[in-house]
Amino acid sequence: MANFKESASQTAGPYVHIGCVPTFAGLEGMYGGKDLGNTMITGNPAGKRITLCLRVIDAAGEPMTDAMIEAWQPGPEGSFGPTEGFNHWGRQPTDAETGEAIFKTLMPGAPTGQTPHILLWIAARGINMALITRVYFPENDNAADPVFAIAGERAATLVAEKTDNGYVHTIHLQGDHETVFFDV
Amino acid sequence: MTGLISARDLDWHPAPLAPDYRSSILRSPAHALLHYDPTETEMTGPTFGHNMLGALDDNLILNYANPGEAAIGPRIIVHGKLIDEDRRPLPGKLIEVWQANAGGRYRHKKDGYTAPLDPNFGGCGRCISGEDGSYSFQTIQPGPYPWPNGGNDWRPAHIHFSVFGDGFAQRLITQMYFEGDPHIALCPIVQSIPSTQAINTLVARLDMSNTIPMDIRAYRFDIVLRGRNQTLFENKMEGL
Ligand SMILES: [Fe+3]
């Protein structure tokens, strides 16, 4: 019996790490001992190196310590690659204690018709279909971006904060500062 | 540059908040998802080559086992096709799986179920779809397991799947269940999916035609990702 509708989504569950970041999960030696997507800068690409520290906060105000976040972004010139020495895609688990997921990457450029941004995809226990959001940078004219504009008065939830240690961005699943999530 | 990706039918998928699945209560956005049509960002995505794969990556029976040993449990092949809603195969796409062992226990520090670990079973595998979208794993059938939710909840036996498409908008995580499992009807995670029809798309069927006699049984599980291009074309035709 043929089905031609998208397979229904199910939660990644609490053990997503076994499948996607097995070394982080403690499976010694699996896949050569290196988690896929762990390193975005693999060579010496041109562009500005940045650190993006993400946290995901649940409705109780607690950082989620069992999530997995993927990032997909343009390179410094705004193209989606491939780019020598750079992976446009990265994947990080949130830290079991701090809840932080840290991406060491390049500052994205502007794809045609858009402002520089990184697409984020968040999977975890309790999330029935992975959540899609974007992160923008405070130094840019983000209002000119068509997707940023759709977010209207909640668009501020999409902008990272610049700190001495790089960019920091907190994703709130609910509450007064609930981050904008997209159906795209 | 690639074409548009067909819109997601949000009513076909579980809603973010499914109160019977308690973890979703604190982890679901209260606002509706904001829609926009995919841009270049969502129509592109990472690519993965066969050269990244190890020889046993698609064999969960052996890929964590000591030399000469094997994971314990009913031996199965899980296979099928990765296609899109426009019925086209998706070749060269990364598929990652993870699962509990035959006793229902995960190799994970947060799993405290009394069923024992199998020293020869890690619980993950991966492969890249072939030219016709086909994929295949060898594994052992996972056991059902209890989980803290409503007091006496047991997950049906299942395998978690993470799948990439051409564009990031096609990215999907789901779970595969086994035909005939009475826990499917009882599980709040499965039942977060609104329709029986949609649930059935996640139920693998026993496939005797690919079973190897006296060796290993086969289950068939096709995976469908969002379609692209053709729908746009058809929509244009209707509009003329
Ligand atoms: Fe599971």
Task: Quick: pLDDT tens for B154-168.
Answer: 999 999 999 999 999
Mutation target to probe the A interface, by most A beta carbons within 10 A, among B12, B21, B26 is B26
CATH number where A61 lies: 2.60.130.10
pLDDT at B228: 81
Chain A interface disruption, residue of B5, B17, B27, most A CBs within 10 A: B27
Query: Is residue A31 one of the residues assigned to a domain?
Result: yes
Using pLDDT thresholds of 50, 70 and 90, give the confidence band for residue B233: very low
Lookup: tokens for B220: 């068939």
Mean pLDDT of B194-222: 98
CB nearest to A129's CB, from B13, B25, B124: B13
Q: Is B94 in contact with B130 (CB distance < 8 Å)?
A: no
- Chain A, nearest residue to B45 by Cα: A72
In whole angstroms, give the CA distance from residue A149 to residue A77: 22
**Exposed/middle/buried for B136, CB within 10 Å: 0-12, 13-18, 19+?**
middle
pLDDT band at B240 (very low <50, low <70, confident <90, very high): very low
Give yes or no for residue A25 having a pLDDT over 50. yes
Per-residue pLDDT, averaged over A148-164, amounts to 97
pLDDT at B160: 98
**pLDDT at res. A4:** 86
Q: Do B173 and A123 touch (CB under 8 A)?
A: yes
Cβ atoms < 10 Å from Cβ of A116 = 20
Residues B3-32 have a mean pLDDT of 95
Q: Is residue A135 part of a domain?
A: yes
Range of the domain at A56: 16-172
Mean per-residue pLDDT for B8-24?
Answer: 97
- Structure-token pair, residue B102: 């035959």
Amino acid B4: pLDDT: 83
A79 alpha carbon to ligand 1 midpoint, in Å? 37
Whether B11 shows a pLDDT value over 70: the answer reads: yes
Question: How far is residue A169's CA from residue A166's CA, in Å, rounded to a whole number?
Answer: 10
Per-position DSSP letters for A65-112, written without gaps between them? SS-EEEEE---TTS----BTTB-SEEEEEPPTTT-EEEEEEE---PPT
Q: What is the ipTM of this complex?
A: 0.97
Q: Is the pLDDT of residue B29 over 90?
A: yes
Alpha carbons B91 and A14: distance in angstroms, whole number? 29
- Ligand 1 is an ion; its neighbours by CB within 5 Å are A 13
Peptide bond into A82 cis (omega under 30): yes
Instruction: Look up the pTM and report it.
Output: 0.96
pLDDT band at B239 (very low <50, low <70, confident <90, very high): very low
Do the domain assignments include residue A66?
yes
> Does the structure show a pLDDT above 80 at B3?
no
- Total domain count, chain A: 1
pLDDT digits (tens, 9 = 90+) for B82-125: 999 998 999 999 999 999 999 999 999 999 999 999 999 999 99
Query: Is A130 in contact with B45 (Cβ distance < 8 A)?
Result: no
Q: What is the pLDDT of residue A3?
A: 59
Is the Cβ of A178 closer than 8 Å to some Cβ of chain B?
Answer: yes
Run of H or E residues at B231: helix B230-239
Does residue A6 lie in a domain region?
no
Residue B236: pLDDT band (50, 70, 90) is: very low
Q: Are the Cβ atoms of A60 and B26 closer than 8 angstroms?
A: yes
**A181 inside 8 A of chain B by CB:** yes
The pLDDT value recorded for residue B22 is 98
Decide if A91 is inside a domain. yes
Strands A89-93 and B203-206: unpaired
pLDDT band at B229 (very low <50, low <70, confident <90, very high): low
Pairing of strands A89-93, A68-72: antiparallel
Contact A19 B97 (CB under 8 A): yes
- Longest distance between any two alpha carbons in chain B, whole Å: 65
Contact A184 B224 (CB under 8 A): no
Task: Please compute the mean of the pLDDT values over residues A52-65 and round it to a whole number.
Answer: 98
Active site residues of B: 106, 145, 155, 158, 160
Residue B237 has pLDDT above 60, yes or no: no
**Domain annotation for chain B: domains and CATH numbers:** 41-235 (2.60.130.10)
